[in-house]
Amino acid sequence: MSQKHVVVIGSGFAGLSAATHLAKNNHSVTLIEKNESPGGRARKFDHQGFVFDMGPSWYWMPDVFEDYFSHFGKKPSDYYSLKRLDPSYAVIYGEKDVLDIPADLEQFKQMLEDIEPGAGKQLDEFLAQAKYKYEVGIHDLVKRPSRSVFEFTSPKLLADMIRMDIFQSMSKHVRKFFKHEKIIRLMEFPVLFLGETADNIPALYSLMNYADIALGTWYPMGGMHEVIKGMVTLAEEQGVKIRYDSEVEEIEIENGQAKRVRLISGEKIEADVVVAGADYHHVDKHLINPKYSNYSEEYWDKRVMAPSSLLFYLGIDKKLKNLRHHNLFFDEPLGPHADAIYKHPRWPEKPLFYASVPSMTDPSVAPEGKENMFLLIPLAPDLEDTEEMREKYYDIIMERLERITGQDVRSHVIYKRSYAHADFKSDYHAFKGNAYGLANTLTQTAILKPSLKNKKVSNLYYTGQLTVPGPGVPPSLISGRVVSGEVMKENNL
């Protein structure tokens, strides 16, 4: 078999995964990255001793990472050191109303029991179902390329699907087990990673609760970018050649085949196969001749996008109190904020927000005696993004954070950088400035997602958060593996 050359566009989790799996088969792989460093949304930057992860900050589903590295005879510990967080995170319902979520399952059950008598026992049944969904979902369903309905028609799988609660909402499912509003909000929280409210996410995704409660919240010492660093090292060990500062201007197609990738510099890179890990909409509408597009602009406009985000990276010149590594501020009701994100896109009046202080776990990410803080407000995609609006929302959430935690923070901020829709578009060509891709609604699951294969170009494939299996770091790792399998199967690689 002659060696073929595969060009992968984008060095996020999915692109790195695809490139490394393809290189393992002893073929030439070039990974092209628009930015000056790897990781896509999981890039990092440094400032005077502060080390900021720019995007993902939660390390869930450790088994998915273990499975990824095992394909190459490696372990995560060969590249980075993990620490399980305890408490996993804090949920802040208001002043002096905080739940520290214990890592220990029995302690977690007792915490629920103290809130709602009987909830501990209910948790056993809830988690038993969630574990089953996790084992079938993460170890089977998400590894299917979802190119045909026939992938899902075996009698066993159909029986499994019935047990997976795909036609019931997560909201109704949670309320079958728990009544207290605090517990309901806690159990609905993980599906926010999937880009919609619990009313619109299938109960299949209670598998996220199993990941949260049973498998735990972890942290790679040095920051989430240490995972990217490890993946880059592994990719290069497998022979992947990585090109930075190399933005693609066009995928040149001749007679229904992608022949080469042309960079904005004018350089052309010949290819036998192209795998696009860049933003799917950008590739589909801007990097290929329109006659080869998979989908119309009308199709894209009708997609339900997961939220975008307004982020703040803060360096603080003192140690903070009354906060954990991960902190969810649920001190305002979800309803109006959910409307602002999902139903009537607008800037919310009382946003929910998330605060991460990784320096509480890892002294290496901030100078001695100082803190590294990351703030995130989930927002609807495609909002008007101005500096004035960013500052308005900075003051809104900082006032709440200071009041609830009982400390002055703003006057101690010695470094501040914001990041929102315009930056997602500029850095990643993100469709509508999205941060997380497509929402995992029932009508945007599996075969109903944008296809990982171009329908008109025989050797052009897609990977990442806008195709199967969906948004998030573990799904992106899996996406790269799935698309590499399809490429090798169909191109004799």
Q: What's the confidence (pLDDT) of residue 336?
A: 66
Task: Tell how far CA 201 is from the center of its chain.
Answer: 16
In a 10 Å sphere around its CB, with 0-12 CB exposed, 13-18 middle and 19+ buried, how is residue 470 labelled?
A: buried
Q: What's the confidence (pLDDT) of residue 162?
A: 72
Reduce the DSSP state of residue 459 to 3 states and report it.
coil
Q: What's the confidence (pLDDT) of residue 196?
A: 84
344 assigned to some structural domain: yes
pTM over cut 0.85: yes
Q: Which residue is associated with the tokens 């008109």?
A: 456
**Residues 265 and 310 occupy one common structural domain:** no
393 assigned to some structural domain: yes
Q: How far apart are CA 258 and CA 34, in angstroms?
A: 19
Q: What's the confidence (pLDDT) of residue 88?
A: 98
Q: How far apart are CA 247 and CA 423, in angstroms?
A: 16
**Residues 411 and 312 occupy one common structural domain:** yes
Beta strands in 326-445 (DSSP E): 326-329, 353-356, 371-379, 413-419
**Residues 274 and 315 occupy one common structural domain:** no
Tell whether the model's pLDDT for residue 158 goes beyond 90.
Answer: no
Q: How far apart are CA 6 and CA 493, in angstroms?
A: 10
Q: How confident is the model at residue 58 (pLDDT cuts 50, 70, 90)?
A: very high
Domain holding 185, by residue range, is: 109-215
Closest CA to 356 of 314, 394, 390, 396: 314
Q: How far apart are CA 351 and CA 330, in angstroms?
A: 9
Helix (H) or strand (E) holding 44: strand 44-47
Report yes or no: 474 and 190 within 8 Å, Cβ to Cβ. Answer: no
Tell whether the model's pLDDT for residue 493 goes beyond 70.
Answer: no
CATH number at residue 265: 3.50.50.60
Q: What's the confidence (pLDDT) of residue 194?
A: 82
Peptide bond into 62 cis (omega under 30): no
Q: How many of the other CB atoms lie within 10 Å of CB of 429?
A: 19
DSSP class of 169:
B
86 assigned to some structural domain: no
**Residues 296 and 310 occupy one common structural domain:** no
CATH number at residue 124: 1.10.405
Report yes or no: 461 and 468 within 8 Å, Cβ to Cβ. Answer: no
The count of structural domains within the chain is 3
Tell whether the model's pLDDT for residue 1 goes beyond 60.
Answer: no
Tell whether the model's pLDDT for residue 492 goes beyond 80.
Answer: no
Q: What is the pLDDT of residues 178-225, one digit of tens each?
A: 999 999 999 999 987 787 889 999 999 999 999 999 999 999 999 999
- Domain finish residue from 176, 191, 215: 215
Q: How far apart are CA 229 and CA 237, in angstroms?
A: 12
97 assigned to some structural domain: no
**Residues 325 and 411 occupy one common structural domain:** yes
- Name the least confident of 163-172, 254-263, 420-429: 163-172
Q: How many of the other CB atoms lie within 10 Å of CB of 347?
A: 16
- Domain finish residue from 165, 193, 215: 215
Find the angle CA(56)-CA(57)-CA(59) to the nearest 5 degrees.
Answer: 100
**Residues 298 and 309 occupy one common structural domain:** no
In a 10 Å sphere around its CB, with 0-12 CB exposed, 13-18 middle and 19+ buried, how is residue 266 labelled?
A: exposed
Tell whether the model's pLDDT for residue 231 goes beyond 90.
Answer: yes
Q: Bridge-partner residues for 257, per DSSP?
A: 254
Answer positive or negative: Cα dihedral of 31, 36, 37, 38.
negative
Q: How many CA atoms lie within 13 A of 412 on its CB side?
A: 15
SS3 content of the chain, % helix, strand, coil (to 5): 45, 20, 35
In a 10 Å sphere around its CB, with 0-12 CB exposed, 13-18 middle and 19+ buried, how is residue 381 labelled?
A: buried
Q: What's the confidence (pLDDT) of residue 94?
A: 95
CATH number at residue 421: 3.30.519
Q: What's the confidence (pLDDT) of residue 26?
A: 83
Report yes or no: 84 and 218 within 8 Å, Cβ to Cβ. Answer: yes
**Residues 249 and 352 occupy one common structural domain:** no
Tell whether the model's pLDDT for residue 353 goes beyond 80.
Answer: yes
**Residues 309 and 369 occupy one common structural domain:** yes
**Residues 391 and 311 occupy one common structural domain:** yes
**Residues 309 and 406 occupy one common structural domain:** yes
Q: How far apart are CA 8 and CA 459, in angstroms?
A: 12
Interval 355-370 mean pLDDT = 98
Q: What is the pLDDT of residues 96-132, one digit of tens each?
A: 999 999 999 999 999 999 999 999 999 999 999 999 9
98 assigned to some structural domain: no
Task: Tell how far CA 342 is from the center of its chain.
Answer: 18
Q: What is the pLDDT of residues 2-36, one digit of tens each?
A: 679 999 999 999 999 999 999 998 889 999 999 99
Report yes or no: 475 and 142 within 8 Å, Cβ to Cβ. Answer: yes
Residue 57 one-letter amino acid:
S
Q: What's the confidence (pLDDT) of residue 191?
A: 86
Q: What's the confidence (pLDDT) of residue 2?
A: 63
* More confident: 299 or 166: 299
**Residues 175 and 198 occupy one common structural domain:** yes
b or e along 395-427 (b: 16 or more beta carbons within 10 Å of the residue's beta carbon)? ebbbebbeebbeeebeebbebeebbbbebbbee
276 assigned to some structural domain: yes
384 assigned to some structural domain: yes
Report yes or no: 242 and 428 within 8 Å, Cβ to Cβ. Answer: no
Interval 444-462 mean pLDDT = 97
Report yes or no: 240 and 160 within 8 Å, Cβ to Cβ. Answer: no
b or e along 296-311 (b: 16 or more beta carbons within 10 Å of the residue's beta carbon)? eeeebeebebbbbbbb
95 assigned to some structural domain: no
Interval 156-171 mean pLDDT = 81
Q: What's the confidence (pLDDT) of residue 361?
A: 98
- Domain finish residue from 428, 453, 471: 428
Q: How far apart are CA 336 and CA 351, in angstroms?
A: 9
**Residues 308 and 424 occupy one common structural domain:** yes
Q: How many of the other CB atoms lie within 10 Å of CB of 51?
A: 18
